């Protein structure tokens, strides 16, 4: 299987999807789901990204995040997936792969685009009949149980203190003279 190449765009928020190995429904188990969410929140706390929304479905994870100045989108996903795989192996004794290699990303281009992705995340468990209402699904930011970072468009907007935005993982090109 060929991994998709990621061409990181300008700084900003991304809608990201990543799947479990062979789309196994690993996250139906509460213990494993809690480990993934714990890792997701811990990586955010460590400053790899700002987390705006997420939903952990039985066989995949959707999230909207903004990489920090010090971490590329790829690094942020590596920390989430690698960290959760390690902890699942350590705490549950799993000896199998957790995540499919790679991920899919969509660069958020506007406030409308962001709101559309947020609705998708919130309604994903309802659509799959895992909950009657978004706030009932425990593994989603729509449940209101998790502290999230505010979203702001990067076109001229200032980032939160300590989380300045830069082209995610890319160094600026020198100006042509």
pLDDT band at 96 (very low <50, low <70, confident <90, very high): confident
Please calculate the CA angle 31-35-41 and round it to the nearest 5 degrees.
Answer: 145
Q: Report how far residue 13's alpha carbon sits from residue 62's, in angstroms, rounded to the nearest whole number.
A: 13
pLDDT in tens, 16-64: 999 999 999 999 999 999 999 999 999 999 999 999 999 999 999 999 9
Q: Taking CA 27 as the corner, what is the angle to CA 125 and CA 85, rounded to the nearest 5 degrees?
A: 135
**Of 52, 64, 72, which is closest to residue 11 (Cα–Cα)?**
72
Instruction: Please tell me the distance from the alpha carbon of residue 11 to that of residue 72, in angstroms, as a whole number.
Output: 10
CATH architecture of 14-143: 2-Layer Sandwich (3.30)
Query: How much is the pLDDT for 161?
Result: 40
Quickly count: other Cβ atoms within 10 Å of residue 26's Cβ. Answer: 20
Output the pTM of the full model: 0.80
**Residues contacting residue 50 through CB under 8 Å, at least 6 positions apart:** 13, 44, 65, 66, 68, 149, 160, 163
More confident residue, 109 or 167: 109
For residue range 122-148, list pLDDT tens digits in order. Answer: 999 999 999 999 999 999 999 999 999
Instruction: Return the HEC string of the chain.
Output: CCCCCCCCCCCCCEEEEEEEHHHCCHHHCHHHHHHHHHHHHHHHHCCCEEEEEEEECCCEEEEEEEECCCCCHHHHHHHHHHHHHHHHHHHHCCCCCCECCCCEEEECCCHHHHHHHHHHHHHHHHHCCCCCCHHHCCCEHHHCCCCCCCCCCCCCCCCCCCCCCCCCCCCCCCCCC
pLDDT of residue 10: 57
């Amino acid at each position: 299987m060929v991994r998709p190449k990621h061409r990181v765009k300008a700084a900003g928020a991304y809608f990201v999807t990543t799947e479990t190995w062979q789309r196994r429904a690993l996250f139906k188990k509460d213990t494993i789901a809690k480990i993934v969410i714990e890792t997701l929140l811990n990586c955010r706390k460590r400053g790899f990204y700002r987390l705006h929304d997420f939903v952990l479905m039985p066989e995949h994870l959707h999230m909207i995040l903004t990489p920090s100045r010090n971490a590329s989108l790829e690094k942020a996903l590596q920390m989430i997936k690698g960290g959760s795989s390690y902890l699942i192996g350590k705490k549950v004794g799993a000896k199998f792969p957790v995540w499919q290699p790679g991920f899919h990303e969509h660069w958020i281009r506007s406030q409308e685009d962001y709101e559309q992705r947020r609705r998708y995340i919130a309604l994903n468990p309802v659509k799959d009949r895992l909950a009657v209402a978004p706030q009932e699904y425990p593994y989603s930011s729509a449940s209101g149980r998790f502290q999230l970072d505010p979203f702001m468009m990067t076109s001229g907007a200032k980032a939160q203190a300590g989380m300045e935005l830069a082209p995610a993982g890319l160094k600026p090109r020198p100006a042509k003279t």
